[in-house]
Amino acid sequence: MTHNPIRPWRNIERRRSRQIMVGTVPVGGDAPISVQTMTNTDGHDVRATLDQVIRAADAGADIVRISAPDQETTKALREICRESPVPIVADIHFHYKRAIEAAEAGAACLRINPGNIGSAERVAEVVRAAKDHGCSIRIGVNAGSLEKHLLEKYGEPCPDAMVESGMDHIKLLQDHDFQEFKISVKASDVFLSAAAYQQLAEITDAPIHLGITEAGGLRGGTVKSAIGLGNLLWAGIGDTIRVSLSADPVEEVKVGFEILKSLGLRTRGVQIISCPSCARQGFDVIKTVEILEARLEHIKTPMSLSIIGCVVNGPGEALMTDIGFTGGGAGSGMVYMAGRQDHKMSNDQMVDHIVELVEERAARIEAQNTAEAAE
């Protein structure tokens, strides 16, 4: 997917994993790395939860997870799953009956650790429900909730303990001839999580769900996730991701996409290249970019846009972007199309003009794609 024969230094060699389906979304193998988030509404409230799922899907979420702690929620799941534009993962802890109800309600995947639900018969029942309803399962090991016997064996949460926990859960599923699973080994500590994922990637071909759990607030958690997930993705590890932020789920999706876009692993919407604070700027770049980001949020077609304050780097950046604007003197700048100087534009009309150019280009590409798909 990321093979670039002209610029081999951009290539990422992805680990070969098995492919499973989460509803209609393939995870693993050569499928695009999917982006997930989780709702934080009251799961009993179908309307509020669906609205949040739809907002996350509009922002690009491929899969959305919903907590299912009680029977009321698994009941509400039926309508949510039916109306949702993306597959729903039901997040279950401990209670096997919730898992069975969620599978019956149409969840595409169950996030459940088979080792935590009790007897072998209960595991068998959950696996049977998953098979009967076409559900996959995510094993979700978390450094904060490792099994007691592993904490006693290893003394503290460590990569070996997390991987052993994951492999124990995997064995339980495989003993029931169930292969439609993916796995995560999350920690809030970047080193711990990365080491656990690296070990895991060596010993299983299961698709890997990446995450740095409880990463923090919007700014700190974004940086932490970018370092943790970025490092693993760059090494080719990871088939689906969730950025865990103390922030709106839509922000998690946006940050997830930004991480993948930075590594060339996914494309979506307008990628803006712009100047930092600098006194040479011929117009207010920071304010302009803020406005453009908001006004171009609805664009899903991948394209690049450079908004550069002066000619020091403006023409060079414009060479590598689809549309560019470089500030000049006397209240105007130069618009570049596909790397070439195209026309001048006054600074005060520039935002409206750039939005128009981006929208036109997006509409053209979408029409082309539709025509090609119809051929």
Q: Which residues bind ligand SF4 (CB under 6 A)?
A: 275-276, 278, 280-281, 308-310, 312-314
Query: 317 a known binding residue?
Result: yes
**Which CB atom, from 62 or from 317, has the smaller least distance to ligand SF4?**
317
**Which CB atom, from 155 or from 276, has the smaller least distance to ligand SF4?**
276
Q: How far is the CB of 280 from ligand SF4 (least distance, A)?
A: 4
Query: 135 a known binding residue?
Result: no
Q: Report d(CA 37, CA 26) in Å as an integer.
A: 16
Q: How far is the CB of 319 from ligand SF4 (least distance, A)?
A: 13
The DSSP bridge pattern shows strands 332-337 and 181-186 to be: unpaired
- As given in the structure block, the two tokens for residue 262 are 């930075």
Question: What single-letter DSSP state applies at residue 208?
Answer: B
**Which CB atom, from 5 or from 276, has the smaller least distance to ligand SF4?**
276
Q: How far is the CB of 276 from ligand SF4 (least distance, A)?
A: 6
Runs of H (alpha helix) within 138-284: 148-154, 159-175, 190-203, 218-234, 249-262
Q: Report d(CA 207, CA 240) in Å as an integer.
A: 8
Query: 278 a known binding residue?
Result: yes
Q: How far is the CB of 289 from ligand SF4 (least distance, A)?
A: 12
Q: How far is the CB of 311 from ligand SF4 (least distance, A)?
A: 7
Cα atoms in the 13 Å half-sphere on the side-chain side of 218: 7
Please, which residues have CB within 8 angstroms of residue 8's CB and are 6 or more apart in sequence? Answer: none
**Which CB atom, from 197 or from 283, has the smaller least distance to ligand SF4?**
283
Q: Minimal CB distance to ligand SF4: which residue?
A: 309
User: Could you tell me which of 133, 125, 141, 140 has the C-alpha nearest to residue 176?
Assistant: 125
Q: Report d(CA 80, CA 87) in Å as an integer.
A: 10
- As given in the structure block, the two tokens for residue 20 are 């499973």
**Which CB atom, from 221 or from 314, has the smaller least distance to ligand SF4?**
314
Query: 275 a known binding residue?
Result: yes
Annotated binding site for [4Fe-4S] cluster: 275, 278, 310, 317
Annotated binding site: 275, 278, 310, 317
